[in-house]
Amino acid sequence: MGTVSVRIDERLVSAARAAAKAEFRTVQGQVEFWAKVGRAALDNPDLPASFIAESLMSMAEPREDSSVFVPRSAAKG
């Protein structure tokens, strides 16, 4: 995959730098993640952005680190 240089406002880069540090990503990776969340949010306006972000993060997790989904109703029974 190739790379392309783009101009981004310094305030956005500063915000991405802070978020990237907190989420253990590179600044580039953080901006790419935000772009993916934004694109998915536009494609799915009925879904909350937080749900989209969490879904994208879970899809990136190694499969062996995942756990089986248990609905709350099944956990109570």
Side chain identity at residue 72, one-letter code = R
Average pLDDT, rounded, for the chain = 89
Q: pTM of the prediction?
A: 0.71
Backbone angles phi, psi at 26, to 5 degrees: -80, 165
Arithmetic mean of pLDDT, 8-32: 95
Q: Cα 49 to chain center, whole Å?
A: 9
**Cα→Cα distances 17→9, 20, 22, Å:** 12, 5, 9
Spatial separation of the C-alpha atoms in residues 64 and 34, rounded to whole Å: 25
Q: How confident is the model over 28-51, as pLDDT tens digits?
A: 999 999 999 999 999 999 999 999
pLDDT at 71 (0 to 100): 86
pLDDT at 11 (0 to 100): 97
